[in-house]
Amino acid sequence: MLRSLIVDLSKLRLCPVVVTQVREKGHLTRPRLRNPYWFVRKERLARDTTVTPENKTFLQEVIKDKYGPPALIKGIPSYDQSALIKTEQFERQPWHEKARRCGLIARKIGQYPLWLKNGERIRTTLLQVVDNHVIRYIPPQEYQPAQRPSVVNLNKYGCLLVGAESVDPSTLTKEYCGLFKDSGVMPKRNLGRFIISPEAAIPAGTPLNVAHFRVGDFVDVRGKTVDHGFQGVVKRHGFKGMPASHGVTKTHRRPGNIGGGGEKGRVWPGTKMPGHMGNRWRVAKGMRIWRINTKYNVMWVQGSAIPGPTNGLVYIYDTILPLRKHKTAPPFPTAFEEELEALTGGRDDVWYEDVHDFKNETITFQPDKN
d(CA 301, CA 218): 9
Question: What's the mean pLDDT in 178-182?
Answer: 89
**DSSP string spanning 34-77?**
---TT-S--B--S--TTS-HHHHHHHHHHHHHHH--EEEETTEE
Q: What is the pLDDT of residues 79-117, one digit of tens each?
A: 666 645 555 567 788 899 989 999 999 999 999 999 999
Confidence (pLDDT) at 86: 55
d(CA 267, CA 260): 8
Residue 5, pLDDT > 50, answer no
Question: What's the mean pLDDT in 256-261?
Answer: 85
Confidence bin at 121 (pLDDT 50/70/90): very high
Confidence bin at 11 (pLDDT 50/70/90): very low
Q: Which of 31-45, 73-87, 260-274 has the lowest mean pLDDT?
A: 73-87
Give the pairing type, strands 218-224 and 281-293. Answer: antiparallel
Question: What's the mean pLDDT in 289-313?
Answer: 94
Buried/exposed code over 277-294 (b: 16+ C-beta within 10 A; e: otherwise): beeeeeebeebbbbbbbb
Confidence (pLDDT) at 10: 47
> Could you tell me the pTM of the whole model?
0.82
CB 319 within 8 A of CB 218: yes
Confidence (pLDDT) at 24: 54
Q: What is the pLDDT of residues 312-330, one digit of tens each?
A: 999 999 999 999 999 999 9
Fold of 103-146+157-227+278-351: Elongation Factor Tu (Ef-tu); domain 3 (2.40.30)
Q: What is the pLDDT of residues 221-249, one digit of tens each?
A: 999 999 999 999 999 999 999 999 998 99
Q: 227: phi > 0 → left, psi -120 to 50 → alpha, else beta; which? A: beta
